Structure formats: C-alpha cells, structure tokens
Structure 1
Amino acid sequence: MSPSWRTCSTGTGEFAYYTVLFCAFWMTWTCFTLYGNVAGDRTRTHVLLAGMFGLAVMAAAVKGVRDGRHIQAFAAVYVLMRILGSRVWQVRGQVLLDWPTAQFTLGVIPWTVSVWVDRAARFWLWTAGIALDLWATFGINGRRFLERTQQRAVGRRSRPVKLSAVYSDPAHLGERLGLFVLIVLGEGVAQLVATSADTEWDWQLCGLALGAFLLLVMMWSLSPPVARGLVRVRDAAAAAREIMIHLPMDSLGVATLQDRWRSVTRHLLAGVGCDLGQIVFPYLDRCTDLERRKILETVSTYLDTGSLGDTGRVLRGHRNTVLNRLNAFEKYTGLDVQRPYDAAAVTIALEWQGTRP
C-alpha cells in the first residue's frame, strides 16, 4: 500500500482505489460505446478493437496496481484510450453534445503526470483526473463546448472547419449500458461474495463491502431506464432552477415542471422581451370591471377544466353563461380559448398577470 495510505485503514484504501479504477474503466468504456452508438454502420472496427484491447490491458493490470507492479502501465493505457476516444470525434468532425466528456481530455492530464511521480502522489492525481471528468459530465454545456471547439478548430487551420453537433441514440445506448451493468454488477457481486467468504468478518470488512455494493448500485442507477436521462441531467437542473425562481415562499410539497410549466414559460419569454399579457389585457379595458372579472374567471376556469359543463359546475352557472363569456372574451381579444393554439397563449398571458395560480 502506498505511504500516503499507511495511516488509513486497509478497507478505506482498498475502497478508494476500487472507486477510482472503476470510474476509469467506466469512462473508457463509455467513450467507445458512444462512438459506436453515434457512428452506427460507419463505425470503424479497428477503433473498437483498439478500445477492447486497451480495456483488457487495464483489467489485467488491476491486480498489480495496489502493489505498484503495473501501476504505470494502467495509467499509460488509460491515457492512450482516452486520447483515442477523443480523436475519433475530431476525425469525424463532430461534437457529442449530450456527453462532451468524450472529447474533453483535460482530465487526462493528471493521469499523464502520474506516470512520472512517486506512488504517494499517484492516487491523488488519478482522483483529480476522475473529478475533472465528472465535472465535465455534469457541468459543461454541450452547445458552448461546440462553440469553443469550433473556434479552436478555425484558429488552428487555414481553411474554415465546420463541426456538426450530434446526439446519442438513447434506445441503443440504453441497451449497451444495460449489458455493461449486467457484466460489471455480476462480476462485482461475485468478487464481493468471494472476498467475504474467505475473510474473517469484522466491522472493517462490513464497511468495505457495503461501500463497494453502494458504488455498484450507483452505477446501476445510470442504466436503463435511468440511463436515458443521464444525458439530460443538466437540462433537469436548469428546469429545477427555473421552477424555483417564481416558486412562492410559502409553497409546500414537491413542485414539478408539470405543475409549474406556466411560470417557467413566462420567465423564459420575459428573457426575450415577450409579454403575452399584451395580447389579452389591453383589449379588456373596454369592458366594465365586473364584466372583466367574470370573463377572466370563466376563461381561467375553462382552461383548467377544458369543459363547458365542468366550468359551469365549478362557477355554479349555466353552460350557456359560460359559452357567452367565452364568446365575449373572443370578441374583445380575438382569441378563442376553445382552440389549442389560442388556449396556450392565453394560459401564459393569465399567468403573466397573476390571474392563474
């Protein structure tokens, strides 16, 4: 065990190495899997064979990583695989928007440096490299990455270079991730069982086994059907941020995009200077305050129920009264809320003025 880990428990050190090596395998495998996923029939067989060979060498080197026999070989092969995984996208002139890490090689730098440092610092450099890759996975915007990559490509070449944006195929990728998880989980659980069977059970072993199992569960959570959402993590975070911007301070429970889509849409439209309230409220100034209030109440209720009869029951009025008020709204604004297109616009307009919850 490396000197930097002599003060730590063996279980802690083993689990730390297990985590880092597992992430290295996962990053490498994902790079080549996504290449095959996007390239489809145009996949270069020799590229995938090179990736398979590199993973095989890394797997063979694992046993000697902790005692230092194959630690440099593991790092060197990992660096080569990541560079090759990035190079295939450059050759294709494409940028993978939903996983920019496939072309993001900054995390490879600490691994490259680790080949020439002593064993005490090597693990921490590997950890830093993995941390950079995870940051790239969840923190880099694909569109911005494409713009920066395009600018660098133009600066390096005399002729203009046009890069194209591509996305992975979720259905096919989900299938491949499922196979990967089945293999890794099966092998991982087998190793945990074998180790536990041959070792005296104590609290240290229990902690190590639990940590390793939780890591496997975390990787399983990235598999289908959740794997299809992995590439949308940043989109989900952006949606959550938009939901919270106009969420009432006294609101309770869980707020979902399905519940708050009106306020999110209103905020995004405001960002481009669009006020849909202007297509409704100025035109209602021609009616009395009482008529205006009753019309808006009826329109809002109808948009919630989608039914003339249900609207009448909610407002305790006749169906014909509801229809007359909707017709009056159309007369003043030119918008028929019984048409989906107009109904969507009016829904956001009422949200803008705080008429709707």
Structure 2
Amino acid sequence: MLPLRSRMGPRDLGEPHRASSPLELLFDLTFVAAVSQVAGRLAHATEEAHVGGAIAPFLMVFFAIWWAWMNFTWFASAYDTDDVLYRVMTFVQMAGVLVLAAGVPAAFDGDFTTVTIGYLVMRVGLVSLWVRAAVAHPAGRATALRYAAGLSVVQVFWVSRLALPDGGPMWLFFVLAALDLSVPLIAERPGMTTWHPHHIAERYGLFTIILLGESVLAATNAVQDAVAHGVSGELVTIALAGLAILFALWWLYFSEPAGEGLERRRDRSFIWGYGHYLIFAALAAIGAGLETAVVSAGDHIEASTRTVVASVAVPIAVVLVMLWALHAPLRRTTIRPELIGATAVLILLTILAAPTLGVAATLIVMAVLLSLLLAATLTREAPGAGGAGSA
C-alpha cells in the first residue's frame, strides 16, 4: 500500500510522468450517472419532438456538471495531496455529484432545487480544500483565499435563487453562471496556480472518453430495447454507423497533443479549458442523438427524420469546429481549418437530405465524411507526433 502524502503544497510544474491518481479516476466515475441522466432526458425530449424546449435545460444542467468537474480537476492538478482529509473532502464532492444527478429529471421540468443542493455540497468540499491550501501554502495564499471567497459568494447567490418564484427568470441563471466563470479569472490575478499542463490534458482526455462511453451505453440500451421488436438491417446499420462516428471523433480528439500546447501557451489555458464546455456538451448530445436514431429504427416516434438526424449532425459539427478552434492557438494543429469547415458544413447539409436518404443512410454519410477528415489528418501528422497517448 502506498503511503499517504499529507503535505498540501503546490505540485512541480516540471514533474515527469504526472498522471491521474486513482482518486481522480474514482471522482470521474461519479459523473457517469449525471451525464447519463442529462443525455437520457435530452434523448426522450427529442423522441417526443420536444427538443426545442429541452435544449436550454440540457445546457444549464450540463453547465453544473461540467463546472463541478472543472473546479476539482484544476485544483487537484495544482495542489494534489493524498491524506485522509483530502480524500474525505473529495468524497464530499462526489456525494454532491450524485445528489446533482438525482435532480436532473426535475431540472428539465424547471425545478433546480435538488441540483442546487448537490452543487452546494460540492462547494463545501471544494472551498474547504482551498482554505486548506491557503493555510499550507503561504506563497499562494492570496490566490487560494480569492478562490474560497469567490466560490462561497457565488454559491450564496445560487442558493438564494431558489427563493424566487420558479427559480427566477432564465437570464438570472446565465448571470450567475458568468459570475462562477469569473472566479478563476479574478482569483488567479495575484499569481497562477501551478497546474500541470500534461496532467490537465490527460484529465480532459479522460472526461472525453467518459462522454464517448456514455454515447456507447445510450446506444446499447436503445439497441437492447429495439431488439425486443426484432432485429432489422436498419437497426444494425445505425448501430455500426454510430460506433464509427464515435471512433472517428475519438481519433480526431486525441490526434491533438494538448499537453505540449498548454506547456508552451499557459496564457491560453482559460480559453482552452472553458471552450471545452461546448465540446463536452456536444459529445453528450451526440449520445442522446444516437440513442434517438436507434429508437427511430425500432419504434414509431414523434420526431421527424430531419430532427433525428439533426440531433446527431449539429453536435458533431460543434465538436469539429471547437476542436480546431481550441487547439490552433496552442500549436500547429494537424486539422486543416478548410477541411474542418467543409466537413462540418457537409455534415449539417445531411439534415436537408435526411427525409430522402433516411436515418441509417444519413449516419453512414456522416461516418464516411469523418473518416475522410481523419484520413486527411493522418497524412499531415509528422512521424512520431500526436497519437492517442499525447492528448
């Protein structure tokens, strides 16, 4: 058994082979339930032709999930320790995630009470860690205290929002979200925390895999239900095309060695880190779209063929564009912007062709387009560069 590290101090920026700890991996697993809930609700809304009313709740709830994960991830990269108190405070945050996940169905109906309570529980654990960092690390005390104070103040606002009728107007949510996002920007002014670029890149890669895994799980569950009505060629085609789409997106994401870019351009870390909200949300939405596509092959659903295809095509286009936009400022990206743009546009145009081609054939077209983009990307990679292990 490895000894517990009890010193709460900054990590070495040049620490070699900085990898995610077993505790961080366990922490990530608690988000599986939350992501599954939010993707499932979006899928059901799409199947019932109510996707328009579900987009805002999806983005709002996913923000809470993403931001909770973000806060712990960046703290752990800078101040990771491994003693009993640290593990207990991490456990508190994990419990908050599960409470948040339990509140997802109600949040889609406009009741954010349970989600906010889960958010509050997570904040208690995180603020405690920042206070501890302020005590143990005098050189970073100003930054740590700004984090603790900022997170606490904004959390008071989140809880106070519950006292308003129906949680207050929707614009208030976005104001409070903006305040939450501003906390790191303000807190890091006295000095940036010593987060490790390769560790951060690995953590983001692992969360990407979780989101892709949720897509596989959602599609698998849908296939299981559809099989009860009989296996069809359309169902098999949709399942295989969906898997090809996910595999291509995985390959494209991990072809960009983000760790090297973040090491060179630490000043771009906020843009890169915050911009991943759109990538992560889009990946979760792809899972919901693929589930809807599978269901459309086995059951009659209210959504039109065009809506089903759009639920997959739009988030794929978002992933492609954001993947290039976030990595291009860090390094010479292997993905050419003109190819990204052309692929994204062609994938979006499949929405118009969906009523004629059908869901299965349209997904095959998307998979082929992504494969062609991937092939073009591989031809640009220098020998020994990129690869799945570099992100």
Normalising TM by the smaller chain, what interval?
A: 0.3 to 0.5
- Output the TM-score relative to the length of structure 1: 0.46
Q: Does 1 or 2 have the higher relative contact order (CA < 8 Å, sep 6+)?
A: 2
Higher helix share: 2
State the structure with more CA Rg: 1
- Output the TM-score relative to the length of structure 2: 0.42
